[in-house]
Structure 1
Amino acid sequence: MRTLLALTLLASLTACASKLPEPDPRFAWIDIVPDPSDTLMANRLDDKRWNDGRYYKVMPGRHELELRYQFEVGGAGGGFGMNAEPSRITCYMELHYDNFEAGKRYRVEARNAANQPMAWLYDENRNVLARHEIFPRCGPF
């Protein structure tokens, strides 16, 4: 019985760690790269829910990427909140880019600087192609 339970648990964990698909040269591939302490995920593509938060695969042309970004704030001491636990803030940020090219790889990164989240789209040579332009929707959700 214990063996069956252990195998079931192991099988359920391997589903969470599935391998990324191979990039298709007919599409542009966008890697989502979070900082180690944060969570950054692909959320929507052109206003439609995206099913894998680790990357986007898009046809050439113009696209709108919505990202879900989580980071910790507070809990660092000082002032009235010196004994407070850190809390996680979730932000939704949008990136727009007009010229995705088939067979090219892109990269999205996000950072939190002084509780102001920022996101950038880079090409293969680390040139900034887009940054989020609208103040992100953030909250404790």
Structure 2
Amino acid sequence: MLADKLDGNSLPDGRYFEIPPGSHDLQVQLHVDNNDSAPVLCDAKLHYAGFVAGGHYSLKESHLGAEYRVRLHDASGKQLAATDVFYCVPG
């Protein structure tokens, strides 16, 4: 899983990046390898209005069957936001 875009702009490194304080949209990309079929590429957006200067955040992926979700957590592990629906296409 990688962050792909911040407010519509591509990120140079989707693993580590800085987000200015305030409200932002983060596009997240998942590469799903299914043992029984071709890999799948999935995209979704996550919106959070409370980013703070110097804050540390993490993205955590989970899934139940074919339903994928990415959640944004703060440094203490509190969930702050979650992705909307993932759109997937064969990759």
Residue identity opposite 1:107 in structure 2: S
Percent identity over paired residues: 27
1:87 correspondence with 2:38: yes
Q: Could you tell me how far apart the structure 2 residues matched to 1:60 and 1:132 are?
A: 19
Listed as ranges, the matches of 1:39-78 within 5 Å are 40-75=1-36
For 1:42, what is the secondary structure of its paired residue?
Answer: strand
Q: Which runs of 5+ in 1 are unaligned?
A: 1-39, 76-85
For 1:73, what is the secondary structure of its paired residue?
Answer: coil
Residue identity opposite 2:15 in structure 1: R
Residue identity opposite 1:140 in structure 2: P
Match of 1:112 among 22, 39, 63: 63
- CA RMSD, Structure 1 to Structure 2 (Å): 1.3
For 2:61, what is the secondary structure of its paired residue?
Answer: strand
**Greater Rg over alpha carbons, structure:** 1
What's the counterpart of residue 90 of structure 2?
140
Tell me the matched-pair count.
91
Q: Which runs of 5+ in 2 are unaligned?
A: none
Give yes or no for contact 1:46–1:63 (8 Å, CA) kept in 2: yes
Q: Could you tell me how far apart the structure 2 residues matched to 1:111 and 1:70 are?
A: 13
Deviation (angstroms), 1:74: 4.5
Q: Could you tell me how far apart the structure 1 residues matched to 2:45 and 2:25 are?
A: 7
Q: Which runs of 4+ in 1 moved over 6 A?
A: none
- TM-score, normalisation: structure 2: 0.91
1:102 correspondence with 2:53: yes
Residue identity opposite 2:54 in structure 1: G
Deviation (angstroms), 1:54: 0.9
What's the counterpart of residue 131 of structure 1?
82
Q: Which has the higher helix share?
A: 1
Give yes or no for contact 1:44–1:67 (8 Å, CA) kept in 2: yes
